[in-house]
Amino acid sequence: ILCCFLATATNHKNKKRSKKLLARAKKAMDSLQSFASVCPSNFKNKLLLLQAELETASGKTKSSEIIHLYHESARIAKEEGFTQDEALAQEKAGYHVLHMHEGTNTASEAQSHFDQAIKIYEDYGALLKVEQLKKVISRLDYTVQHMASRKSNIYQKSSGSWLMPSSNPGL
């Protein structure tokens, strides 16, 4: 999953590095597919999460299909007792919605995913993660309020800076 994130983050800067990272993620997915075929209760949710991340990085799959992968990953993780994986799937779904769409309806959908992730992380005891996501939500709230008045985009695809804590300290 980290390879997918890094490939997506560096995609606009270093195409060669992005391709290399995505190749590593695809190899990891091959391994997860083998593991999931032997023990789906331990690996199916992880496989679905990695598939969602790879599809997001590729940019070739409908967003609704990707969201479905995140939801299935979260559902299976919950059923199998992988609380941290359930929270991660909800969190990643929230980021996916923010990055792939624009508008206030998108903000509420993303916030719903983040709220679910926060509750799960709280129950799990991951309090630093809870604080991190609360900061994301506060930036999201700020952006939605100002978007309505200034009719600006929720996420500027060229920089993506509003989510980065150090890049916009005024928020």
Structure tokens at 21: 């990272």
Supply the pLDDT for residue 46. 93
Mean pLDDT, residues 9-18: 64
**pLDDT at residue 122 greater than cutoff 50:** yes
Mean pLDDT, residues 31-37: 92
Supply the pLDDT for residue 151. 46
What band does 32 get if pLDDT is binned at 50, 70 and 90? Answer: confident
Find the farthest-apart pair of alpha carbons in the chain and give their distance in angstroms, rounded: 54
Is the distance from CB of 133 to CB of 118 less than 8 angstroms? yes
Range picked from 16-25, 79-88, 136-145 for highest mean pLDDT = 79-88
Supply the pLDDT for residue 170. 39
Instruction: Report the predicted TM-score, pTM, of the whole model to 2 decimal places.
Output: 0.75
Three-point CA angle 104, 110, 111, nearest 5°: 90
Per residue in 61-104, pLDDT (tens digit) is: 888 999 999 999 999 999 999 999 999 999 999 988 887 766 55
How many other CB atoms are found less than 10 A from the CB of residue 61?
A: 14
